[in-house]
Amino acid sequence: MSSVIVGQFVHFSEWVDNSLEFNKIELSELLFPLFIRTYLHLVSDRKIDQAKQFFNDIGTQHSFFTLSDDEIARFRALTYEQLSAAPYDKRDDLIYKWIKYKYRVRMGAPVRELLEQKLSAMEPAFREVVNETVSIKMIKQTTTQLGRSQRGWGRLSVELPTVDEDSRDTVHPTLKDDHRWVSNPEHFVTCAEKMEEVLTEEAEEEEDEEDDTKALQPPRRRHEFRAPDMPRVRMPMAVQERILAMVNHADHVSANSLPSICQFTALNVGPTSSMTISRFGDLAMVGSRRGVISVWDLNQPRDAAPSANRYTLVGHSSMVTSLSLSADNALLLSSDAEGAVRMWLAGSSESRGQVARREGCKCPVWSVSWSPYGLYYVTGSHNGTATLWNCERAAPCMHFTGHLSDVNDAIIHTSGDIVVTAGADATARMFDTRVGSNSCHLYTLSPHTEAAVKVRASPDGRVLATADMNGLVMIWDTRMGRLLATLNGHTAAVKDLDFSRSGTLLSTVAVDGVRLWDMTTLRSLARVPCTASFPQYEPEDEETAPALPFSTNSVPELHLSVYPTKQPLLATRFTYSDVLIAGGVFTGQTE
Amino acid sequence: MSSHRSVALTALAQNVSSEFIPTELDDAVASIMADELQFRLANVLSLARRFAYQSPDNKLTADDVNEALKTRNMNVVLGPSSRSSRYRTIGNGDTYCVADDVVNINELLNSDPRRPAEPSLSVHWLAVTGKMPATNENVSVEALERAQNDIVETILPEDFDANPPVTQGARGALTDAEHGLSYILHRARVMPQVSQEFLHRVKDALKPLADESKRAEVEAALPKLCAELRTHRVSDSVPFIVREALATIMKNLADDLFPIRAACSLLAAVWANSSLRPPLESSLQEVLPALVTMVVTETLGPYDPEDITGRDVREEAAKMLAEVLFQYGGKYPKMQESAFEFVREALLAGPRDGFYGALLVVGRFGESSVNADLVPLLPDLLDKGKLKPCPRFLGSKAFPTIESTLMTVLQRCQVADADTRAGLGERLSVAMDAEML
């Protein structure tokens, strides 16, 4: 049995290592106690040699030795006789504490759900080890937002200076019975149930603790869906304040209060292939077919010379196919037709230039898109795959396959856990980034009749919008993968689309201008708020889903307005203050 | 199914025949190759179409096909391009190259190189709280209405009546009571921001009007303002700006001739700018009567002790009137005719206030006009004794005598010959003297 546990532990540690950094920081807290407990299992099975090898190899590999040298020596010298000796006061205090008490780990709800999902697919014996080793406390915030010193976690649940038989009543109720190293499958309860039990009791214990009482919510048995409470990775404070200032001064836009639209038109930039605009509305970036990116910084004084507020980023050797600006305006990603993805310092006027170059394939990368919270970005390429990258790593994190043709667009969902792609095979697909294997495919959204070219998620994550070459825009329920409406209006391929900050409006641009669509009704039809995790598609959900009040083929009520333009448009973006910006180029003059 | 494709392939092979490619393909080979060729062509074209999507207008160009071929690791040695499509043959006629122009090196060195246009970013409001301003940057209202109509046709239910009982509601709302639908044509006339800023600056320049000591500054500021660069960006709003500025002038002052002089100065400054002048054409119906009135009117506002006849104003207005008629007289002959009727009447009315203005206008029109309109009238005026100087003007600096004014006009335009001029002058002097006596 212990060898099974060892194998499962190795598998689990690999899974943690390969998980995204959002989850990894919290998951890695589990490895050290599980490592110790696995070692103790080996010793209790009298596999001393294997235990020592495991202790040395895995401990060194993962740098688990946060223990003092004396403690390490005591663990290494541990024998079966010491472990099974009775009474307890004859045992080593250190070993006794590791056997009898749980290791406290603080964990956010999304990560805990992910852990549950993973453990449910693992061996029962390992789940038992997790149950008996770790006590998880749920928090609203993720631990990445707390300083390690503030947490005070990562220690055994109870400190016992002296151990005697009487004191056993004070230990955790779930551990009152004599501990049995061999797990009993009959007594196995699901991880969620066990955790619920533990957490409820811990909540009672810590009622008088000051701050985290409200955060102690009993875990749900089934997957619950919620919007992300806070960004998992915080932006710099100055950027946050700037965003808040814009948001506070924003007018509420809706179907009854349409937004103001500002059009940016780039002149004399030659053949253009891509464009993007910052959420602050102060940066406009145009990528050309020759590989040059022109950036306009509108923060410069208006009476400044025309060349003072413009600079170019040179590096690509072929057509710039896509541009994506991070939410804090600091980093620009660009992709080209030869498969290169480049990262630039764009927002700062002091230091501009390329900071990284990634090359995943030798074919055109049609799309590059930042994660809503930074750090990760996803690319969609001609070879039919989408790739998830960490900007701190040279190698890609994950590949998402399934499309039968080019991946024209790929984004990371608002929750940060889902990658949504639009493909030339007239489908859009959703992938779970947390699974990290080939089984991560969630839904295929397929009623398009032409190549899907763009996909966007609403800020609250409820609905997805996909657009195709025919100009059709389709709105999807993110939770169920159900088509909610087809928006018919554009007569040419949709170039870009974006949701307003509140998610009540959708803006689409094409050659024939800007169109605004009302999303209020559709958001209410989407059954659940933004998801942190997705179950597999369940047909019964469709039966219980609320009926749509209109045919999904055509929903004229949703069309609000159209604004034809003299020049074709390439990009649209709602700023943080909900002003809509449409970006285009003047095509009347050629080089 | 592939038979016609193989036939096409055979024909293609014949067209590109050379020593390396057989002129005629075997049917079996063509049949096999046809499928393969079709697959490859479809493959390349689908990729080219994706490249075309990257362009703003979605048009498939030769460059897109070339990009697709490059992606497929097929070098484009020779082929059409979006930039150059001229080729010539060299050698034995089997080698092609781009037909570049042969340029003389001396001409090239001495030529003024074409300066590349500076990339720039233009920013304008496509909509203000949902309504599209009727500015030059946006599409016209007519196109907007057409687009709105297109939408109505596109999104309405299938059983929708093509000619519904639509009623025009308030604020441009179209209501279809039968289907309970309401459409609002989102349009509003909003002046562009650049024009708004320009108007503010004009108004700022007109602020010191009330202070008499600063009037010279105003008169100097307006031409300077209108002579600035980039005024073409406000050209669409010129009539409105002029109207607003004139309203400001009239609002600030009403007691002397200076408002009219300031207005003249403004109009002259606008007129002098070639970017601002064309928009005035649409307002000629308003501008021209005002100018004619200023020239030939008997009473030109309150009297200025320094300029009792308002000569400066009349001179300025006459200058502008002449320029307007020169510019648009050929295009609007009736306009010129009607303006001259007033001038002629003023001349025939005798030496009153308007007479002097009319003289100035005629003088501004040059020799032909003086010969045609003024000279024939002079003997008649002299004979009938109409050329009596207005007692009010005697001793005036502006119009000392009719004689001197007429002589100025005649000399300026070099009317007739010296003898005629001398004769007329002599007769004028006699008439004046007799009248004075």
- pLDDT score of B156 more than 50: no
Please state, for a pLDDT cut of 70, what percent of chain B lies above it. Answer: 52
Q: Does the beta-carbon distance from A587 to B58 stay under 8 Å?
A: no
Contacts of B54 in chain A (CB under 8 A): 273-274, 289, 319, 321
Higher pLDDT, B85 or B34: B34
Q: Which helix (H) or strand (E) holds A267?
A: strand A261-267
From the number of C-beta atoms within 10 Å of its C-beta (0-12, 13-18, 19+), residue A104 rates as buried
Higher pLDDT, B13 or A467: A467
- pLDDT score of A536 more than 50: no
Integer Cα distance of A414 and A464 in angstroms: 10
Q: What is the pLDDT of residues A294-308, one digit of tens each?
A: 998 887 776 677 677
pLDDT value for A546 = 55
- pLDDT score of A526 more than 60: yes
Higher pLDDT, A487 or B287: A487
Q: What is the pLDDT of residues A224-261, one digit of tens each?
A: 333 334 444 556 777 777 888 888 777 788 888 889 89
Q: Does the beta-carbon distance from A266 to B117 stay under 8 Å?
A: no
Q: Does the beta-carbon distance from B124 to A263 stay under 8 Å?
A: yes
- CB distance B305 to B315 below 8 Å: no
Contacts of B121 in chain A (CB under 8 A): 264-267, 284, 296, 298, 309-310
- pLDDT score of A180 more than 60: no
In three-state form (DSSP H/G/I as H, E/B as E, the rest C), the secondary structure along chain B is: CCHHHHHHHHHHHHHCCCCCCCCCCCHHHHHHHHHHHHHHHHHHHHHHHHHHHHCCCCCCCHHHHHHHHHHCCCCCCCCCCCCCCCEEEECCCCEEEECCCCCCHHHHHHCCCCCCCCCEEEEEEEEECCEEECCCCCCCHHHHHHHHHHHHHHHCCCCCCCCCCEEECHHHEEEECCCCEEEECCEECCCCHHHHHHHHHHHHHHHHHHCHHHHHHHHHHHHHHHCCCCHHHHHHHHHHHHHHHHHHHHHHCCCCCHHHHHHHHHHHHHHHCCCCHHHHHHHHHHHHHHHHHHHHCCCCCCCCCCCCCCHHHHHHHHHHHHHHHHHHCCCCHHHHHHHHHHHHHHHHCCCCHHHHHHHHHHHHHCHHHHHHHHCCHHHHHHHCCCCCCCHHHCCCCCCCCHHHHHHHHHHHCCCCCHHHHHHHHHHHHHHHHHHHC
pLDDT value for A423 = 93
What's the rounded mean pLDDT across residues A421-426?
92
Lowest mean pLDDT among A348-352, B94-98, B199-203, B414-418: B414-418
pLDDT value for A591 = 34
* Cα B227–Cα B232–Cα B236 angle in degrees, nearest 5: 120
User: In this complex, is the C-beta atom of A261 within 8 Å of any C-beta atom belonging to chain B?
Assistant: yes
- pLDDT score of A133 more than 70: yes
Q: Does the beta-carbon distance from A260 to B154 stay under 8 Å?
A: no
From the number of C-beta atoms within 10 Å of its C-beta (0-12, 13-18, 19+), residue B330 rates as exposed
Q: What are phi and psi of A529, to 5 degrees?
A: -70, -170
Q: Which helix (H) or strand (E) holds A262?
A: strand A261-267
Contacts of A567 in chain B (CB under 8 A): 56
Higher pLDDT, B278 or B252: B278
User: In this complex, is the C-beta atom of A488 within 8 Å of any C-beta atom belonging to chain B?
Assistant: yes
Measured distance between the N- and C-terminal CA atoms of chain A, rounded to whole angstroms: 74
Lowest mean pLDDT among A17-31, A502-516, B301-315: B301-315
Q: What is the pLDDT of residues B355-381, one digit of tens each?
A: 777 777 777 777 677 777 777 777 676
Q: Which of B118, B124, B128 comes nearest A306 by C-beta?
A: B118
Lowest mean pLDDT among A260-264, A378-382, B171-175, B347-351: B171-175
pLDDT value for A573 = 94
DSSP H helices, A134-188, are: 148-151
Contacts of B143 in chain A (CB under 8 A): 564
Integer Cα distance of A300 and A134 in angstroms: 55
- Band (pLDDT 50/70/90 cuts) for residue B325 is confident
Contacts of B57 in chain A (CB under 8 A): 511, 568, 587
* Cα A479–Cα A481–Cα A485 angle in degrees, nearest 5: 110
What's the rounded mean pLDDT across residues B417-431?
62
Q: Which helix (H) or strand (E) holds A399?
A: strand A398-400
User: In this complex, is the C-beta atom of A294 within 8 Å of any C-beta atom belonging to chain B?
Assistant: yes
Q: What is the pLDDT of residues B297-317, one digit of tens each?
A: 776 665 555 565 666 777 778
Integer Cα distance of A275 and A584 in angstroms: 8
Nearest to A332 by CA among A305, A307, A297, A360: A297
Helices A48-62, A21-44: axis angle to 10 degrees equals 160
Integer Cα distance of B292 and A423 in angstroms: 71
Taking the CA of residue B99 and the nearest CA in chain A, the distance in Å comes to 19
Q: Does the beta-carbon distance from A257 to B156 stay under 8 Å?
A: no
pLDDT value for A281 = 87
Higher pLDDT, B311 or B78: B311
- pLDDT score of B390 more than 70: no
pLDDT value for A322 = 95
**Among B46, B76, B81, B121, which would you mutate to test the A interface (most chain A Cβ atoms within 10 Å of its Cβ)?**
B121
Lowest mean pLDDT among A211-220, A380-389, B87-96: A211-220
Q: Tell which A residues from 296 to 325 touch B, by Cβ distance under 8 Å.
A: 296, 298, 306-307, 309-310, 318-319, 321
User: In this complex, is the C-beta atom of A585 within 8 Å of any C-beta atom belonging to chain B?
Assistant: yes
pLDDT value for A436 = 57
Q: Which residue of B has its CA nearest to A452?
A: B50
- pLDDT score of B434 more than 80: no
Q: Does the beta-carbon distance from B57 to A511 stay under 8 Å?
A: yes
- pLDDT score of A191 more than 60: no
- For A163, the token pair is 């151990």
Q: Which helix (H) or strand (E) holds A247?
A: helix A237-248
Q: Does the beta-carbon distance from B57 to A587 stay under 8 Å?
A: yes
Q: Does the beta-carbon distance from B147 to A513 stay under 8 Å?
A: yes
pLDDT value for A147 = 37
Lowest mean pLDDT among A141-155, A167-181, A420-434, B86-100: A167-181
Q: What is the pLDDT of residues B252-261, one digit of tens each?
A: 655 566 667 7
Taking the CA of residue B54 and the nearest CA in chain A, the distance in Å comes to 5
Q: Which residue of B has its CA nearest to A296?
A: B121
| Strand-pair category, A103-108 with A559-563 | unpaired
User: In this complex, is the C-beta atom of A453 within 8 Å of any C-beta atom belonging to chain B?
Assistant: yes
pLDDT value for A247 = 80
Q: Which residue of A has its CA nearest to B131?
A: A260
Secondary structure class of A116 (helix, strand, coil): helix
User: In this complex, is the C-beta atom of A588 within 8 Å of any C-beta atom belonging to chain B?
Assistant: no
pLDDT value for B182 = 44
- Band (pLDDT 50/70/90 cuts) for residue A407 is very high
- Band (pLDDT 50/70/90 cuts) for residue B104 is confident
Interface size between A and B, measured as CB pairs under 8 A: 150
Please state, for a pLDDT cut of 90, what percent of chain A lies above it. Answer: 19
- Rounded to the nearest integer, the mean pLDDT of chain A is 74
- Rounded to the nearest integer, the mean pLDDT of chain B is 69
User: In this complex, is the C-beta atom of A274 within 8 Å of any C-beta atom belonging to chain B?
Assistant: yes
What's the rounded mean pLDDT across residues A206-214?
42
Contacts of A272 in chain B (CB under 8 A): 55-56
Q: What are phi and psi of A24, to 5 degrees?
A: -65, -40
pLDDT value for B204 = 76
- CB distance A367 to A377 below 8 Å: no
What's the rounded mean pLDDT across residues A480-496?
86
pLDDT value for B143 = 65
- pLDDT score of B244 more than 70: yes
Q: Which helix (H) or strand (E) holds A560?
A: strand A559-563
Q: Which of A268, A310, A584 comes nearest B56 by C-beta?
A: A584
Q: Does the beta-carbon distance from B53 to A493 stay under 8 Å?
A: yes
Contacts of A274 in chain B (CB under 8 A): 54
Q: Does the beta-carbon distance from A582 to B126 stay under 8 Å?
A: yes
Q: Does the beta-carbon distance from B120 to A268 stay under 8 Å?
A: yes
- Band (pLDDT 50/70/90 cuts) for residue A341 is very high
Please state, for a pLDDT cut of 90, what percent of chain B lies above it. Answer: 2
User: In this complex, is the C-beta atom of A569 within 8 Å of any C-beta atom belonging to chain B?
Assistant: yes
Contacts of B188 in chain A (CB under 8 A): none
Taking the CA of residue B64 and the nearest CA in chain A, the distance in Å comes to 10
pLDDT value for B425 = 63
Q: What is the pLDDT of residues A384-403, one digit of tens each?
A: 999 998 887 788 888 888 89
What's the rounded mean pLDDT across residues B80-91?
59
- Band (pLDDT 50/70/90 cuts) for residue A160 is very low
pTM of the model: 0.57
Lowest mean pLDDT among A456-460, B12-16, B66-70: B12-16
pLDDT value for A590 = 38
Q: Tell which A residues from 209 to 238 touch B, by Cβ distance under 8 Å.
A: none
- pLDDT score of B335 more than 70: yes
pLDDT value for A336 = 93
* Cα B398–Cα B399–Cα B405 angle in degrees, nearest 5: 125
Q: Which of B50, B119, B137 comes nearest A294 by C-beta?
A: B119
Please state, for a pLDDT cut of 70, what percent of chain A lies above it. Answer: 72
Q: Which of B53, B130, B156 comes nearest A556 by C-beta?
A: B156
pLDDT value for B15 = 61
Task: Print burial letters for A380-392: b (CB count within 10 Å at least 16), e (below 16).
Answer: bbbbbbbbbbbbe
- CB distance B251 to B244 below 8 Å: no
- Band (pLDDT 50/70/90 cuts) for residue A453 is very high
Lowest mean pLDDT among A509-523, B50-64, B137-151, B211-225: B137-151
Distances in whole angstroms, Cα of residue A142 to Cα of each of A105, A106, A118, A239, A522: 12, 9, 19, 21, 31
What's the rounded mean pLDDT across residues A21-38?
81
CA dihedral over B51, B52, B53, B57, signed as positive or negative? positive
Integer Cα distance of B12 and B10 in angstroms: 5
Q: Which of B46, B63, B123 comes nearest A264 by C-beta?
A: B123
Integer Cα distance of B351 and B415 in angstroms: 20
DSSP tag of A430: E
Integer Cα distance of A492 and A553 in angstroms: 18
pLDDT value for B145 = 62
What's the rounded mean pLDDT across residues B419-435?
60
Contacts of B123 in chain A (CB under 8 A): 262-265, 298
Q: Tell which A residues from 326 to 385 touch B, by Cβ distance under 8 Å.
A: 337, 363-364, 366, 382
